[in-house]
Structure 1
């Protein structure tokens, strides 16, 4: 029986992943960020039936002792704990080094000492920077265009170094732009939906010309489980993406169309990244995931994006869910 530790289990993707693993019958320990409120993040909102099966561990990914304690008795670790907001990385870059790079080191070092069967380390499409060619495969050069992306490049390389140096069974999953219920309003899709759902028709956005490869959270979660279960993924970097490119502006128009709203976009200067830091184009090549894992996106291409956006809108427009967001405040 596998015992799975999910770090970052209290977050957006981590909470969905934890729930899916429980539903599939796995024994799951959820590493949540320790706080004095005893909050388990999004896991506080999961059903009582699922919650009763979760082994909660409150700690800090930056603490090597706590990380090792959390991993004792586990066979696999899925490391999602990270700081991910790009604008905040301009503000406080040192925290990204501590959390993302040192956190990754703590995980792989403990995995080495404890002899875990698999470490799945979470990367991000941001490590590629603006596409030099499309679609972007796993051999694309890495470009640190923000302190966040630089910290994730460093974290990825730490994880891979343990595979190369010590044969630690590490796999790197590299999701492209995941969206869905529970996502932070620092991301563009929740920003658009929450503003529209709050009654606005003129919404504030940053640059609308950059393109992204959006992936519904269910597909990303299935990608994590596929990487975890595949022996062929050890030592590999694997993109999880839809192989579909769409601009921020087009995405906003699609959301407004689904919601039946005539949309007007106002450029908010504080949401604009520095010129050389903006990632202008992301478009995933997902052939390796298909060939190596048998994974394919269920929410693929334009129709899949529309379906995923519809489900996301349904969640955000529930008054209880929307009440947890501050649509009038720019969330960095």
Structure 2
């Protein structure tokens, strides 16, 4: 699909990945409607930080994906939907699982219903590597069993299956992108990389962390953004699930040391019990097989392997250490 002359709705455009994706689509000359969560502060989330050139081309819709009427109003006139809007914090899903069902499952259903009724041309639904749970085999292909090891991952499994059911039942043009652990500028400090960087950047030498032994497949945000755009453009992915990952596995402990190295700091580690997941809920191992992305999308990570990870961590740290950015984070508090 050629995205030129197509109107693209991005849900979750105010968030970490969504804001980067919205900006890149606009830089490429596309017509974008940014769906942001309504709030009384009139905040557009991270899009408030966009350049004047980007903001001048933004078509912003403030609403809530839990509202089916607002969702349909937002989608009218759009040809392509990139659905990123979701609750994503795993610890908060232990605290308030009902909100995850409402937002992630019912919110996705609202969007699918509207897409079906309005006959959109492409609907890209965002999944997560958390739906795989602890790897039963590596690297993890799209055929890996799904395991709901947290209320968050269970809600995303439900949303994924709802999306696929609309493809199977109604031929709604759905495809599912499944990013592994995306990181980069603007990410919430609830995630491991920004929580370490923000603590170090705030002058701390004793860093509070959770479990060190689990492994992850970290994907720099601009690689993830390229994956979304490739999914929107591809004619080969209807009804398919596609992993977007670096195909490089690294432990949390080694990642923390890499961060300290690229920031030129010597640190010590302090275990913080509140950051530890319940034992059976911890996803012990994630490692993406990205062959399908290469075959169907021609996508490969630009930030690949240890060299790519170090480069991505350096660029992320350079953003965080700027006072105007670091000031938006509360390094002294654990954010669930």
Residues 107-186 of structure 1 aligned to structure 2 (within 5 Å): 107-186=111-190
Residues 1-332 of structure 1 aligned to structure 2 (within 5 Å): 1-332=5-336
Q: How big is the shift at 1:263?
A: 1.4
SS of structure 2 residue aligned to 1:174: strand
SS of structure 2 residue aligned to 1:120: strand
Q: How big is the shift at 1:267?
A: 0.4
SS of structure 2 residue aligned to 1:288: helix
SS of structure 1 residue aligned to 2:207: strand
Q: 2: CA distance between counterparts of 1:263 and 1:102?
A: 44
Q: Deviations over 1:275-328 (max 9, x none)?
A: 000000000000000000000000001000000000000000001100000000
Q: 1: CA distance between counterparts of 2:308 and 2:264?
A: 19
Count of residues paired in the alignment: 332
Q: 2: CA distance between counterparts of 1:292 and 1:283?
A: 19
**What stretches of structure 1 of length at least 5 have no aligned partner?**
none
Q: 2: CA distance between counterparts of 1:34 and 1:210?
A: 36
SS of structure 1 residue aligned to 2:281: coil
Deviating beyond 2 angstroms after TM superposition, the runs of 4 or more aligned structure 1 residues are none
Q: 1: CA distance between counterparts of 2:29 and 2:300?
A: 22
**What stretches of structure 2 of length at least 5 have no aligned partner?**
none
